[in-house]
Chain A
Amino acid sequence: MAILECKSLSKNYGRVTALNDLNLSIEPGRIVGLLGPNGSGKTTLIKLANGLLVPSSGEILIDGEKPGAYTKSIISYLPERIAIPLWASIPQLISYYSDFYKDFDAQAAENMLSNLNIDMKMRVKEMSKGTREKVQLVLVMSRKAKLYLLDEPIGGVDPATRDYILSTIIGNYNPEASVIISTHLISDVESVLDEVVFINGGQLVLKSSVDDIRENNGKSVDALFREVFKC
Chain B
Amino acid sequence: MLIKLLKHELRATSRIMLPVFAAVLGISVLAHFSIQSMESNQSGIVTIISGVIIVLFAVGIMSLPIVAVVLSINRFRASVLGDEGYLTMTLPVSVHSVLWSKILVSSLWLILSGAVVFASCYILAFDSSVVHFTFEFFGESFDLMKNYPGTTVTLIELIATIFLSLCAGTLSFYAALAVGHGFPRHKMAYSVVVFFAVNSILSVISGIGMEFLDEVDFTRFFSSRGPIYIANIFLLFFMLYFVVTGAIYYIIAVYNLKHRLNLE
Contacts and interface: CB of A to CB of B under 8 A. Distances in A.
A83 B86 contact: yes
A82 to B, nearest CB: 6
B184 A72 contact: no
Interface stretch (B113-121, B144-152, B232-240, B256-264): B256-264
Interface in A193-220: none
Contacts of A87: 12, 15
Nearest to A74: B92
B92 A69 contact: yes
B4 A54 contact: no
A145 to B, nearest CB: 11
Contacts of B7: 99
Given A81-B83, A83-B84, A83-B86, A100 B259 contact: no
B12 A82 contact: no
Interface string B10-26: 01100100000000000
Contacts of A50: 90
Interface in B80-116: 83-87, 89-94
Contacts of B87: 79, 83-85
B140 to A, nearest CB: 46
A72 B90 contact: yes
Nearest to A85: B84
26 contacts: A51-B89, A52-B90, A52-B263, A53-B261, A54-B258, A54-B259, A69-B92, A72-B91, A72-B92, A72-B93, A75-B90, A79-B83, A79-B86, A81-B83, A81-B86, A83-B83, A83-B84, A83-B87, A84-B87, A85-B79, A85-B87, A87-B15, A92-B11, A96-B8, A100-B92, A100-B93
Nearest to B91: A100
Interface in A80-134: 81-85, 87, 92, 96, 99-101
A229 interface: no
A52 B261 contact: yes
Contacts, number: 56
Contacts of B258: 54
Interface residues of B, number: 25
Q: What are the 5 closest A-B residue pairs judged by CB atoms, nearest first?
A: A73-B92, A83-B86, A79-B86, A83-B87, A72-B92
A70 interface: yes
A47 B263 CA distance: 9
Contacts of A13: 184
Contacts of B93: 69, 72, 100
Contacts of B263: 47, 52
Interface of B: 1, 4, 7-8, 11-12, 15, 79, 83-87, 89-94, 184, 258-259, 261, 263-264
Contacts of A51: 89-90
B127 to A, nearest CB: 41
Nearest to B11: A92
Contact of B86 (A52, A70, A75, A101): A52
A77 interface: yes
Given A51-B89, A81-B86, 14 more contacts: A52-B89, A52-B261, A54-B259, A70-B92, A75-B90, A79-B83, A79-B87, A83-B83, A83-B85, A83-B86, A83-B87, A84-B84, A100-B4, A100-B91
A82 B94 contact: no
B131 to A, nearest CB: 40
A182 to B, nearest CB: 14
